[in-house]
Amino acid sequence: MRQLLKFGHSMTAIVFLGAIAVLWVLHQQLPDPERALSLYAEARQAMERIAVLLLLPSLVLSLLFGLFSMAMVTPVSSATARCGFSFSMNVPTAAFSSLPFRFFGPEPPQMIILQPSR
């Protein structure tokens, strides 16, 4: 089962990188919007289709396949669960702790720099 999950992770990662390469090439070939607006709009629509149909699903599936394949290993699963729980608890707290100050406060909160004790 783990080998199948690793294979799925590898295949979706290949699709993800292929979609990024195609988008990069298409971005390099974009015409000037002032000269050929219809061609520019068609190229952007093609890029949007590639992003929606290939890039985002492969990104999500690659993440899920990778996480599930890590969860299949017993020693890693408990450490992954602890680390994932810690990450899920700390990141939103750090990201949103100063959110009201960003919108409503006169100045952003000051960053506290901790100095190591000597």
In a domain, 113, yes or no: no
**Structure tokens given for 32:** 């000037």
In a domain, 89, yes or no: no
Residue 77 scores a pLDDT above 80? no
Residue 98 scores a pLDDT above 60? no
- Least confident range from 32-36, 63-67, 81-85, 87-91: namely 87-91
Question: What does the pLDDT look like over 18-31, one tens digit per residue?
Answer: 999 999 999 999 88
In a domain, 80, yes or no: no
Q: Report the Cα 11 to chain-centroid distance in Å.
A: 17
The domain total for the chain is: 1
Residue 109 scores a pLDDT above 60? no
Which domain does 15 fall in, by range? 1-71
List the alpha helices (DSSP H) in 1-118.
Answer: 2-28, 37-50, 56-71, 74-96, 99-104
Question: What does the pLDDT look like over 57-70, one tens digit per residue?
Answer: 999 999 888 888 88
In a domain, 52, yes or no: yes
Question: What does the pLDDT look like over 40-51, one tens digit per residue?
Answer: 999 999 999 999
